[in-house]
Every structure is written in C-alpha cells, then in structure tokens.
Structure 1
Amino acid sequence: MRRSENSVVVLGGAAGAWGDSSFALPQLLDSERCDYIFLDALAEITMAILARARQKDPALGYATDIISMIGRELPRIVQQGLRIVTNAGGVHPRAAADVLRGMATEAGVEIRIACVEGDDLMDRLDELSDLDLAEMSDGEPLVTGPLSFNAYLGARPIAAALGAGADLVITGRCVDSALALGPLLHEFGWGLEDFDLLSQGSLAGHLLECGPQATGGLLTDWRDVASWHDIGYPIAECRADGSFVLTKAEGTGGLVDVRGAAEQLLYEIGDPGAYLLPDVTCDWRHVELRQVEVDRVEVKGAIGRPPPATLKACAQVVDGFKVTALLMIGGREAAAKAARLGSELTTRAARLLERDGHPPLRNVDVEVLGAESTYGPHARTTHSREVVIKISMHHDERRALSAIVRELGSFAMAVTGLSAGGRGLPKPTPLIQLRSYLIPRDRFAPTIHLDGASIPYLEPSPAAPVARPADSKLGHEPIPVDELIEVPLVALAHARSGDKGPDANIGVRARHRDFLPLLRNQLTTRVVADWFAHRARGRVERYELPGIDALNFVLRDALGGGGISSLRFDAQGKAYAQQLLDMPVRIPRAWLAHAALPALPSRRS
C-alpha cells in the first residue's frame, strides 16, 4: 500500500562493503528506528573473489560473512517487523537465500525470502558477442573466457519482490543505490517518470551505501570526529517528496554534518550532472544540504532525467599473476637504501628470468612508504629513519614470480636494517583485469523467486534518454589582489577521493561560499593535471556543483590500471584528495581573518 504524503520511511545502511563491521547491523537494530536496513556487499574485486569461490564449491559464490550476520539477527529482524535488502547474493543469490532459510528454521522464525537474478551474463557470451560491444575505456572487443560477467540492475525488481510480500530480498549485482531506492519505490509508489523523486531516492542510497563514510568516516577534518570505534551507521528519514534527513543512531560515535554529507555526495560520481543509473539519470549539481540539528542534515534538490538506454556490465578477466612484498628498513638513509633495494631486486629478477628461460616481467611498481614516494615531486620527507618498501611485480607465470620472491631472503643478509617482520614469503595471486561494457537494456529480463517460487515480473521500458542540459555559465569572479599570501588548499576546502575503474575522482568543497571563486580560478584542469603528472596519464575533467559550493575532478587513467589490477599500494586513489589538499594556493592576506578559515596547518602536519 502506498504511504501517505506525510509519512516517513526510515532506511539504515548496515554495510559499505564485504568485510564491514559486525557491530553495524546490531547497532541499527538496537536503535529500533528503521523500517528497512540494507547491506551493500559488492565491489569489482568482490565479484572476482566470489566467482572463484563458486568455481571451487558450487554451493558458494555469495558474501558469506554478511549472510551469516543477517542470519544471526533473524529473530530480532522478525520481532521488529522490518525488512532487509542486500546484494550479498553475489554470483549465487539462490544459495544465499537457501542458507538464510536454513538459519531461519534453526532459529524457529518464519520469514519470506526473495532473490533477484538476471545480472549474470556468463551463459550469454555467444549472444553478446554478436552485438559488437566495445570496452568503455579503450574500445577493445568483448573478452573471451571471463572469470565473471555481471550487469548492474536497477531498483524495480527489488520493489517488485517487496510488493510480492518478501521480508528479505537478496540480489546479485545491482547498482548500490538501488538497495535504498527499491524500498522507496515500493513504499511511495513513485512512477517510471518521477525522475526528480528517483534521483533524490538514489541520492539517499548513494549517501548510505558506504556505511560510516556518511557519518564522519573519511572526513578531511578527522579531529572533529570524536571516535571511530563506535561510529554510527547512517540512517535516512525519507519523505514522499524525495527529501530526506541524514542522521545516525543516538549515542553512537562519528559525526553527521554538512561537510561529511558533501564529501560523500561527491564520492566517485564523475559528472554530477549526468550520474547514470538504471532507473534515472541523476543531476546533483544543485543539491542543497542543511544542518537542521546536531547530527541531522536535510538533503533535497536532486534533479532527474530518463535513464540511459544501456546498462553497464563488468567482466573480470585473469591476466597473469602478481605478487607484492612489503619490507621494513630502519636506520639512517632508510629511504635511499629502500630505493636501491627496489632497483637491485628488479635487476636480479631480470637475471633470474633470463637464466631460467622465462619471459621478462610485464610490470614492476616500487614505492617507499614513509618517504612520500606516492607524492612524486611534491614529497617533503626524504630522510625518514624508518620506511616500508613495497615491491609489486606482474608476470604471466605464477612459478616465475615464486622463484623471484625466493630471492628476497638473501637481501636480508645484504641490506642494513631490513626486516620482513616474520611474515614469510608472499604468494603470487591472479591479476584480475576489469573490462566494462554498455549493453542495450532490452537484453535484460530480471527474474524474482520468492521462497523458491517464481514471481511474474516484466521489466518496464523507461522513457527515451534526453540530452544533458548545458552547464550554467558561472564565470570567474574577480579576486582582491592587494596582497596575496600562499596557504595550502586545505585551508580553503575539504575533499574526498576514490576510483571508477582506471580513473580517479576527487571532489573538492569550499569551506565557505566566499572561497569558491578563487577555487574556480586556481584549481583549473591544467593545474590539477600538473599536480598529479606523476600519477595520471590521461586528461583531467572538472565539473561544478554550485549547490554545495564544490568542484569535482575526474583524472583519467590515473590508477595504474584500476583498483583490482593496479600494482600500486593506493590502487583506488583514496589518498589523492589529501595529496591535492596540500597544494599551495594564493589568497588575499585579509582572508586570514575570515571566520571560515581554520588555523593553518604547519608544513609538517
């Protein structure tokens, strides 16, 4: 039944990834505030792990820890009358559903469990090969023999499962925000063309899908967050008009304020005027965030357009093997010794491969952690007396890498101050490449099974996509130039970064609207490209979000291949925002008295 216009649906986000805290779901249940709790389990690397697990054991292929976490709490879930939605089904939603049914029987509770399928494309490779698909980043044709291949489904199958009476919905791959939008579609009855509402509901999911990242986690101003050990998981109080209040359970750690909400809004969205989802094309450039009470932020102003005519699908492909060694080196000139070790081990590896008849290494990446090697030319600490060297290598043969790592022990007898910490030799693992494609949405027919029985479902056809509206011309406002001084960017802004395939995303928000014109003037695409020239090989794009006084940067080909295939330690660009915030900018001296300018950090901070 559709809720009244004045009613509120309360959503809780209890997991931001496979491996999230076991305290999260109990915390939200303890609050007794939620109508729905959803748990997001999947990322690109997770799909590859789950696919390999199912190859070894046909009964596996789902996120076991999250399914077990839900199972332990089934009595309280039933007692409170709330509903659960999760994509922890991975590549085997039915197996996950069967496990939970068994746990429900053992606990003596009755619960109706639905699973949504239709995202798995592994049995359709021949059919899809006729479509002349091109990989999204390099235009290469469809791969053969992937480890897994799944499309991102939308929210409507979840809503249909809830409408059929499911208390618990388990999906395979779907967009993360669909885990929140599905319940809102069911509760409020939003239609196919209620695009602004669909965009606003998707924004609620976007803010909650990464768990505590919306409640003080990853906040630039981390000292303002009282504690992390008991951090509150996010709650959204959603209204029928699409607006919602972001909050958390009372008495928990963390912090809910406009800064954290803005950083999470910017997180990994690419073009904020065309954030493409299966149910809607979102335009979040003019979203408004307002602190209404302590730990309560009101969110409204999202705009939507018809969704794209395609769905994104990602294949995981094994491309040889990789191995990573971490070694500590202490004492004087530690960084110099580490750099030499990296060079000499690489040289010995080349000699060994040639001697034993193997082809050369495909790639090597050496970083000296503690000497700011990831900062490139911007490093300021080169004389640390304690560093960790990370050496990663890529080769087609596992045994070739195993032979190389056996040589590590001899260097402990050559390099002063070297220690492996008693960790033993690292083992080579498959290197997985992510390959992404756009597939016509009419090729998909999601299916729903409720307690083992098929539920009739027909995926609706959305309106045809429309062109993206042009950006409004904001221009460059003049900046007072009576006397300029240099400060780090963090004095004027806070930021958050992440990844999208091989690309990095850095969202930067002005601490005050007065600072935004200066950021527009000085944070140009060329300046950001130059700052990350040692990391990014592609172009830099900049987008504006005037609603939250922010800029969003996309750095193409900036992660050494991306999160699951990169040899870099920061394969997902999580530290990029903090590195950018160290960049010097020039401000009028008079701004030193501005109330929004924090105490300037020292260069040693």
Structure 2
Amino acid sequence: MVRSLRVGGASGFWGDASLATPQLLAAGGLDVIVYDYLAEITMAILARARAKDPSAGYASDFVSGAMAPNLAEIAAQGVRIISNAGGVNPGACAAALREEIVRQGLSLKVAVIEGDDLTARSEEIAAKAPVEMFTGAPFPPKDRIASINAYLGAFPIAAALDRGADIVITGRCVDSAVTLGACIHHFGWRTYDLDQLAGGSLAGHILECGPQATGGNFTDWQDVVEGLDTIGYPIAEVHSDGSFDVVKPEGTGGLVSRGTVGEQMLYEIGDPQTYVLPDVICDFSDVKLENTGSDRVHVAGAKGLGVPDDYKTCLTYADGYRGGHIFTFYGLEAEEKARAFADAALARTRAQLKAMNAPDFTDVSVELIGAESQFGAMRQSPPAREVATKIAVRHVDARAVGLFMKEATGLGLATPPGLSGFAGTRPRPSPVLALFSYLTPKDQVTVTLRDEAGEVDILAAATVETTPPQRPALPLKPTAKSLVEVPLVRLAFGRSGDKGDIANIGILARRADFMPWIWAALDEDHIARIFGHFTKGQIERFYLPGSASMNILLHGALGGGGTSSLRNDPQAKGYAQLLLAAPVAVDADLLEAGEQNE
C-alpha cells in the first residue's frame, strides 16, 4: 500500500492571506503545499499588467510574500510547492523566484510549465472563428484580443515532479490540477484510472479556495466567527483509491465539517455529473461526506466518466469602458431621493451625449444597497432611511464614462437632501476586458516543461471515451399532515459563485430526509421568483443523492460576468444568501424532530 499524500492548500485567490504558508509549515508532516491564484478576472488583470510591462503578468506576491520568507523552512522540511502563480508570464515568475533562491543560498529546483498562452496565435485562431461555448456568441474582433489561455491539466505537473522539481510554477491550468498533479506523481495514476483522477480532482477542488473549506463563507458563520482571525487552511490526506480526508492544522480557528466541505464541493461545479476537467470528466453525484472525527471529514465516491479531447480556453478582449461610484443618502425618503439623484445624473449625461451625436451607454446599473435591491420581488423591509446608491455605466468610449462621473459629481449641490459619502478623488473609467470561452483540441496545444535539466515537450494524455452519466432518480414529492413555512436556511447549507455569466448555487440538506422537501420547494418557478430581476436565461437543477444536495444554474444572471458586469455582485457570491432567506414548505413534524436531534 502506498502511503497517503498530505497536501495543504495555501491560497484560494490572488490576495489571499500571507499567514497560510507559515501556518501549514508549522503544522508539519506535509508532502506538498499548493497555491491557486487564478480566476477569469485575475487573468484579465494580469493581461493588462503584461501589456504595460513585459516583465509583469504573474502573481508577484507568491515570490515576495509566500516564498521568500519561508524558503529556508520549505527546503528543511522537503515540502514540494506547486502554484499557478505564473499567470500570463510563468517564465518571469520562475526567474524572480530562482533569483530569490540564489540570494538565500539554497538549492531548490524550479520547474516551469508553459504552453497555455495562445495569444501569439490570435490570427490563426480568429480565422477558425470558434463560437462561445456557453452562449454561441461569435468570435470577437481579433484586433481587440488581450489574452488567450488554454486551461491545462495535471500530468505536466506530475512530469515536473518526476524530474525532481522542488517547486513547480504553471500558467493557466485548472485550479484543481495543482493538487491532482501531486497525486499522479505520488500514486502513479494513469490516464485510465478515471475514478482516482476524479477523486484527486475533487480533493483539489476542496483545497483550491483555501479556507472556504474550513469555515470561510460558511452558512453557519456563527459557529466559526470567534476563530476567523486564526482560521486554519485546509489539508487533504489523499489515499491511493482517490478518497481523502479533509482536516486543518491543530490549534487553528475555523471548522471542518460535512457542511463546510459540502458547501465547497458544490461551489462552481456546474452540472455535477459532467464536471469537465482536462484530465477527467467527473461525476460527483454519488460522493458521500462523513464526519469521522473532530474537524475531520472523509470524502469518497467520485467517479470518472472519461477524458475530454479539448482544453477549455478563455480569451479576454477589449469591450469598451466602465465606471461607477457609490453615493450614500440618509434621512426620510432616502430611497426616493437616491433614485431621483441617479435618474438626474443619467439624464444629464445622456442629454450631453445626444448633443454630441454620441451613442447611449451600452449598459447601466443602479442598485440601492440597504434597500433590499438584491432581493427583488422577495423584498420585505420597509422603506430604508439610509442607502448606498451604486450607479455604474458602460460605453464604447472612455470619455463618455468620464462624462458621467463628472456630471454625477456635479449634481452635489442640486441633489435632494441627505447626500453624503466618504471618498477621495473622482473614480476614473476602466477598460473592460470581456471573457470569451471556447474549446481547443488538445493536439493543437504544445505543453513545455522547463527545468534545470533542460526543456521537454509534454504530450497530452490520451483521451478516454466518455461514458454518459446515469442520471439519478429524483426525490419523490413528499406529503405531510401539516406543513410549516420556514426560511430555507433551517433545512440547508448554501454556497454560490460564478462561471462567466452563469450563477451556480449549491444547496446541501442539513439532513438527508430534508432533501425531498428542498427539491420539491426549489422548483423553477420558485427560483425564478427569487432571481427574476437578475437572470435572463435558463434555470437548471441537478440532484446529488450521495450528499443529499442539489446544484442550481442561472444562465445570463450576472450582467455579462465578473470581467465586464456592472453589478454590485458580479460573481454571485451572495446569491445563496438570497435563496436561503426565502420561505419553503416542510413537514412540521419532520422539522421539529430534526431540530430536536441536532
């Protein structure tokens, strides 16, 4: 039997806390520490940075904050490091890290995985004119392309470890690949070990958002609030069959439970039976989550259905400009005053645009934060006496956005009373880098591994024919002698996020016998009532019997998605909170018995 692999997750986004690396090193006994820095928004930011400075375009604080203060201890413990901090410039990231290693007199070996960056091939790709994989939209104008990156997999990372790398830096790979690559290296998994690859990918998915698996963004936040300042970062103890245990360093804050791990499992996975990664198509519908000790959860049951022929590829392109500001109002009729102010600012700007024969804004967003504007038809509060008025606009010309900022500010002495705010200089227009996702055949991407021993091309793993998922039988509609309406949060945990312009909401039943009631209550009509003011497209629901949970997809619900949206919540981070607050019907006796047993 090959011993288990202990992997610590030290970063969930670019900007995560610097305490994670020393905390995990202090815990001891780790084989690998992984870092995930990249998201679609991050790639857009890094592409802009590289356009200004060819030596930029990577997560610089990986070198300065995570590695530099801890390299000596990393070397002493022999912990391997895997990170996608390379962003759109992994070579520069590796060069900076190697310089720091030499400066400290260490001998750690750094390997770089490249090949994801397809930007130089934009002319060739534009000639093929692939369509957007989610919406079918046409390929954007090639002269507006900022970056093109294929989402690579885990086998090149494993190859780098096989060649003796102490630290592996990649560009854009899927978030879970940094963990799966370590598993492939450690256990010797092959392309056809589908269930193991799916299990390792799920372990990576749990780790990829750092403390979101250990109490961060948790529905029952009161259970962890006293330990948020010392929250523990997650550790996965992965076994040779692909199952794993989730724990955290002893003595740290936070919580590891079925709820914290289950919320993260459902986070941003789309269809849970066809979660497509470069190395395996995963089916998480029968995954079981079991509390096996204090701050310990065992996860098993992931299935692999095949290996895809293509890499998901994300392109960012210039799509005009956006800008906005938050103006606060307080006092009687604060909502009405705020709306009047927003209307006046937009009308004044539009009048000037018309006089200049300039086009109207391509999008406008006005949200009154504090007046339950996020709740739409589910609003219950009386008129608010203080609101934060967010007004944002998009236009093809930066000058039009700047004009709006000027005119809105210029209304300061002509506004209804109660305008206030804490702000510095007037916000400036910012360029929009919109997202366009499509598929690239694997044989059209050359993946290169560079390390101290030289350079080698890594062939894509052979594809494995996909077995269609077997959809589970849906819960039967329940009946009861007496019903009671309660907020969904009494029955379930929830976590939400985004993929482009699609919102994902995962709902995990607190008890398995609550799930039929949850499924019956959260039908498409109920979901549409809650999110009708947001979503423009299809509503999909998926059932996961193994974990007594469901996943909901809201298409066209984010105003274009995080890289271009004007919404206050362009990544759907709070959508689960809206759903958990909505009333659902449940068997009164079942609810009482369930809560008495908690």
Q: TM-score, with normalisation over the residues of structure 1?
A: 0.95
State how far apart, in whole Å, the 2-side matches of 1:430 and 1:479 are: 54
State how far apart, in whole Å, the 1-side matches of 2:30 and 2:482 are: 54
Q: Is 1:46 paired with 2:11? A: no
Q: Deviations over 1:496-519 (max 9, x none)?
A: 100011000011111111111111
State how far apart, in whole Å, the 2-side matches of 1:55 and 1:587 are: 55
Q: Deviations over 1:304-324 (max 9, x none)?
A: 021221111000111110001
Trace 1:178-327 onto structure 2 (pairs within 5 A). 178-225=177-224, 226-327=226-327
* Residue 17 (structure 2) aligns with: 21
Q: Which amino acid in 2 is paired with 1:431?
A: V
CA RMSD of superposed structures (Å): 1.5
Q: Is 1:113 paired with 2:110? A: yes
State how far apart, in whole Å, the 1-side matches of 2:196 and 2:80 are: 22
Deviation at 1:597, TM superposition (A): 6.9
Q: Deviations over 1:217-260 (max 9, x none)?
A: 11111101132111111100111121111011111111100001
Kept in 2: contact 1:529–1:539 (CA 8 A): no
* Residue 595 (structure 1) aligns with: 594
Q: Is 1:409 paired with 2:406? A: no
Deviation at 1:189, TM superposition (A): 0.0
Q: Deviations over 1:125-181 (max 9, x none)?
A: 233234441111332333313111101000000000110111000000000000000
* Residue 511 (structure 1) aligns with: 510
Q: Does 92-101 or 449-458 show the bigger shift?
A: 449-458
* Residue 370 (structure 1) aligns with: 370
Deviation at 1:328, TM superposition (A): 1.3
Task: Tell me which of 93, 96, 109 is aligned to 1:96.
Answer: 93
Kept in 2: contact 1:120–1:149 (CA 8 A): yes
Kept in 2: contact 1:495–1:509 (CA 8 A): yes
Residue 492 to residue 361, structure 1, CA distance change in 2 (3 Å): same
Kept in 2: contact 1:591–1:597 (CA 8 A): no
Q: Does 63-72 or 275-284 show the bigger shift?
A: 63-72
Q: TM-score, with normalisation over the residues of structure 2?
A: 0.97
Kept in 2: contact 1:352–1:404 (CA 8 A): no
Q: Is 1:78 paired with 2:75? A: yes
Kept in 1: contact 2:376–2:530 (CA 8 A): no
Trace 1:383-532 onto structure 2 (pairs within 5 A). 383-413=383-413, 414-451=415-452, 453-466=454-467, 468-480=468-480, 482-532=481-531
Residue 128 to residue 29, structure 1, CA distance change in 2 (3 Å): same
Trace 1:131-150 onto structure 2 (pairs within 5 A). 131-143=128-140, 144-145=142-143, 146-150=145-149
State how far apart, in whole Å, the 1-side matches of 2:452 and 2:54 are: 20
Q: Does 401-410 or 429-438 show the bigger shift?
A: 401-410
Deviation at 1:475, TM superposition (A): 4.2
1:72 aligned counterpart, secondary structure: coil
State how far apart, in whole Å, the 2-side matches of 1:352 and 1:389 are: 23
State how far apart, in whole Å, the 2-side matches of 1:87 and 1:461 are: 23
Deviation at 1:531, TM superposition (A): 2.1
State how far apart, in whole Å, the 2-side matches of 1:367 and 1:17 are: 27
Kept in 2: contact 1:492–1:597 (CA 8 A): no
Q: Which amino acid in 2 is paired with 1:30?
A: A
Kept in 2: contact 1:494–1:508 (CA 8 A): yes
Deviation at 1:542, TM superposition (A): 0.6
Stretches of structure 2 that go unaligned for 5 or more consecutive residues are: none
* Residue 168 (structure 1) aligns with: 167
State how far apart, in whole Å, the 1-side matches of 2:356 and 2:382 are: 37
Deviation at 1:478, TM superposition (A): 3.1
Q: Which amino acid in 1 is paired with 2:160?
A: A
2:74 aligned counterpart, secondary structure: helix
Q: Does 246-255 or 416-425 show the bigger shift?
A: 416-425
Q: Does 302-311 or 204-213 show the bigger shift?
A: 302-311
Deviation at 1:477, TM superposition (A): 4.3
Q: Deviations over 1:532-552 (max 9, x none)?
A: 111111011110000110011
2:229 aligned counterpart, secondary structure: coil
Deviation at 1:75, TM superposition (A): 1.1
1:327 aligned counterpart, secondary structure: strand
2:211 aligned counterpart, secondary structure: helix
State how far apart, in whole Å, the 2-side matches of 1:17 and 1:91 are: 15
Deviation at 1:262, TM superposition (A): 0.6
Deviation at 1:455, TM superposition (A): 3.0
* Residue 602 (structure 1) aligns with: none
